Structure 1
Amino acid sequence: MNETIVIILLCAMATYLTRAGGHLIMLQFGKVHHRVEAALSAVPVAILTALVAPSAFSGGLPGVVAMLVTGLICLRGSLLIAVAAGVATLLALRAMGM
């Protein structure tokens, strides 16, 4: 088997086990406090911001504008649509030579 496929499968398995393990641990606590639930629901956005922000600010004006578009759409729409709009914005601004 190609080593790239093996690495992808191992990463998928590690991701699944991490997520499933988190759910199993949370089941042991019963009802979760509403503040803990709010903090856990903010984690995906925080991780996305931590991954995107450094490259967006080092990418100049197109990166900053794309990040703002993504953030604004995230406030009202789904994360997938927001990311797609941000990528489209970045590509359009770079194509215009900004």
Structure 2
Amino acid sequence: MTLDLNIMIAILAMAAATVFTRISGLVLIRHVEMDERRRAAIEAIPPAVVMAVIAPTAFATGWAETLACAVTAIVARRLPMLASVVVGVATVALLRAVGL
């Protein structure tokens, strides 16, 4: 297997863009006054990201995935993101196991 230079440049550019956006977010948030409304908006980001990732799968596949997406959406309002993902994966596995 050979390594293509264009692919390597693309991977490094994507890595740099990811690191830049994460670091800039941490730096910029220090200069923002956090009132309750802004804090609530920032805390809503992780569940929104989870739903953006799993929603296409939920609507493009079967009932097990759609129901697991609904369960994950409900759980994501109360649990941390990692726990919500675990609940969603467990739900879809259970529903597939029972034949739904």
The TM-score, its normalising length taken from structure 1, stands at 0.71
Does 1:26 pair with 2:29? yes
Alignment of 1:1-98 (within 5 A): 7=11, 11-29=14-32, 31-98=33-100
Q: Using CA pairs under 8 Å that are at least 6 residues apart, name the structure with larger relative contact order, 1 or 2.
A: 2
Q: Identify the structure with the greater helix proportion.
A: 1
What residue identity is the alignment partner of 2:55?
A
| Cα RMSD (Å) | 2.6
Q: Which runs of no fewer than 5 residues in structure 2 stay unpaired? A: none
Q: Which runs of no fewer than 5 residues in structure 1 stay unpaired? A: none
The TM-score, its normalising length taken from structure 2, stands at 0.70
- Residue 28 of structure 2 aligns to a residue in which SS? helix
1:97–1:77 CA distance, 2 compared to 1 (3 A) = same
- Residue 49 of structure 2 aligns to a residue in which SS? helix
> What is the number of residues matched between the two proteins?
96
* Percent identical: 36
What residue identity is the alignment partner of 1:90?
V
1:77–1:33 CA distance, 2 compared to 1 (3 A) = closer
* CA–CA distance in structure 1, aligned partners of residues 50 and 86 of structure 2: 13
